[in-house]
Amino acid sequence: MKGAGILENTAVAVARGRIAAIGTARHLLPAFADAEIIDCRGGVLTPGLVDSHTHAVFGKPRFEEQELRAAGRGYMEIEAQGGGIHSSVRDLRARTENELFDLALTRLRALASYGTTTIEIKSGYGLSLDDELKMLRVIGRLAASSPMRIVATWLGAHEIPHEYRSSDDRRKEFHRLLIDDLLPLVKEQGIARFADVFCEPGVFTVEESRAILEASRQAGLGLKIHADELEPAGGAELAASLNAASADHLAAISERGIRALAASDTVATLLPGTMLFLGKPKLAPARALIDAGAAVALATDFNPGTSPTVNFPLILTLGVSQLRMSVAEAIIAATVNGAAALGLAGETGQIAPGFSADLALFQISDARELPYWYGARLCVGTWKAGAPCHPYENLAKLNPRSPEISTAG
């Protein structure tokens, strides 16, 4: 993760949605004489950002919980009293598929406008047979009609819904529903690529998580885990032992967990926006993970409860300023490694011949400005497979930038 391979004065040729060649404009132009030319001078072109962990399909926002936490109430405490995920579940169950689709589409456009071209979206606010399938159908419709690349994850094990919390037997029934009833339908309908579990004390234990994930693997799904978010419960070790595609959160990962991930192919996906928004001082040990040899990805965790941001570059800021990653490490974490966390390492996340032409253009003159102007929207265009995701704004018209913003280059 040391070098991001930054090149200057370089042109990228795109043909049939793929990156065909990289070189100087002088060399490429004669070979692509009919090409439409997009002038990126005065900007930085990166692989389209790969946001490998979101809950982007939801109904209402949950701003009331932010103030409750400010007044001292904990995330799990609000959850236990029927708020948190439960509140999003009640809301989502009451909405139609069309409503959820429209809400999500607007949010996807906002995500794309900050540089994201690939996004993973989880279910997990349905938590009943019909509502989980409804949510996955919405994600499928988004994948078919939004210009972004979308990967669906089944997160039936996001919480134990209220109607199954009255006794241990009822709790077991929910497990049975997930594994015996819902999972076969998810498989049959081909509506998810990954399965995920919220493995956390008070939610799903390591053993429960293992059972759900092993059954999911049997059903042909890749595996992801919400692991060691608030307490070190062994989620990272579980992810490594199952050879999961990713272990996500990890703010409370143990030394053993770090060693287990470093020795595995499981990507450690860090979500520093969540800790910032929850007001938690705990930070995922990005340095220890990278130095031990783990592949680290960054993602937004975009969701109404713990990370309501569509600004992926802001997460890069937190990666550098809070998690002490270098800019190269943060950029790789948001592109190459995000793609690996979605099983797309050979398809997207790199500007290299043969890769899909998933690109983002930023109005900056040095890549280090991307995490630097924190909170700003610097993206002036994104493309997926060569087609616009977020409309391109002509850089030549936008530049030169006002001197108050930057005096560089």
The binding site for ligand NIG (CB under 6 A) comprises 55, 84-85, 88, 198, 226, 229, 274, 301, 303-306
Beta strands 267-270; 11-15: pairing state: unpaired
DSSP state letter for 48:
P
Find where tokens 């109904």 sit: 59
Structure token pair of residue 296: 């680290």
DSSP state letter for 58:
-
Q: Which does 350 bind (CB under 5 to 8 A by kind): Fe ion, ligand NIG, none?
A: none
Chain Cα centroid distance, residue 161: 24
Within 219-357, residue ranges assigned H as helices are 235-241, 255-262, 272-278, 286-292, 312-321, 327-333, 336-341
Q: Which does 274 bind (CB under 5 to 8 A by kind): Fe ion, ligand NIG, none?
A: ligand NIG
Min separation Cβ 200 and ligand NIG, Å: 7
Residue 228 or 229: the one with the smaller Cβ distance to ligand NIG is: 229
Please give the Cα distance from 115 to 57 (Å, whole number).
19
Min separation Cβ 54 and ligand NIG, Å: 9
Please give the Cα distance from 153 to 136 (Å, whole number).
8
Residue 10 or 322: the one with the smaller Cβ distance to ligand NIG is: 322
CA atoms within 13 A on the CB side of 99: 9
Contacts of 243 (CB under 8 A, 6+ apart): 223, 264, 265, 266
Q: Which does 113 bind (CB under 5 to 8 A by kind): Fe ion, ligand NIG, none?
A: none
Residue 132 or 369: the one with the smaller Cβ distance to Fe ion is: 132
The contact mask relative to Fe ion for 252-291 (x = CB under 5 A, - = no) is ----------------------------------------
Residue 19 or 314: the one with the smaller Cβ distance to ligand NIG is: 314
Task: From residue 244, give the alpha-carbon distance in Å to each of 4, 190, 218, 333, 350.
Answer: 25, 19, 13, 17, 22
Q: Which does 116 bind (CB under 5 to 8 A by kind): Fe ion, ligand NIG, none?
A: none
Query: Which residue(s) pair with 223 in the sheet?
Result: 195
Interface segment toward Fe ion; rule CB under 5 A; list 107-115, 200-208, 295-303, 346-354:
295-303
Residue 305 or 313: the one with the smaller Cβ distance to ligand NIG is: 305
Residue 234 or 381: the one with the smaller Cβ distance to ligand NIG is: 234
Q: Which does 198 bind (CB under 5 to 8 A by kind): ligand NIG, Fe ion, none?
A: ligand NIG
Residue 115 or 304: the one with the smaller Cβ distance to Fe ion is: 304
Min separation Cβ 367 and ligand NIG, Å: 28
Q: Which does 305 bind (CB under 5 to 8 A by kind): ligand NIG, Fe ion, none?
A: ligand NIG
Min separation Cβ 113 and ligand NIG, Å: 23
Min separation Cβ 19 and ligand NIG, Å: 32
Contact 363, 43 (CB under 8 A): yes
* Residue number, nearest CB to ligand NIG: 305
Residue 300 or 382: the one with the smaller Cβ distance to Fe ion is: 300
Task: From residue 303, give the alpha-carbon distance in Å to each of 60, 88, 110.
Answer: 10, 10, 13
Residue 55 or 187: the one with the smaller Cβ distance to ligand NIG is: 55
Strand extents, DSSP E, 100-165:
116-122, 149-157
Please give the Cα distance from 102 to 400 (Å, whole number).
37
Q: Which does 175 bind (CB under 5 to 8 A by kind): ligand NIG, Fe ion, none?
A: none
Would you call 259 exposed, middle or buried from its count of C-beta atoms within 10 A (0-12, 13-18, 19+)? middle
Min separation Cβ 254 and Fe ion, Å: 20
Min separation Cβ 58 and Fe ion, Å: 12
Contacts of 27 (CB under 8 A, 6+ apart): none
Please give the Cα distance from 376 to 168 (Å, whole number).
48
Min separation Cβ 240 and ligand NIG, Å: 19
Q: Which residues in 297-326 contact Fe ion (CB under 5 A)? A: 301
Residues that bind Fe ion (CB under 5 A): 301
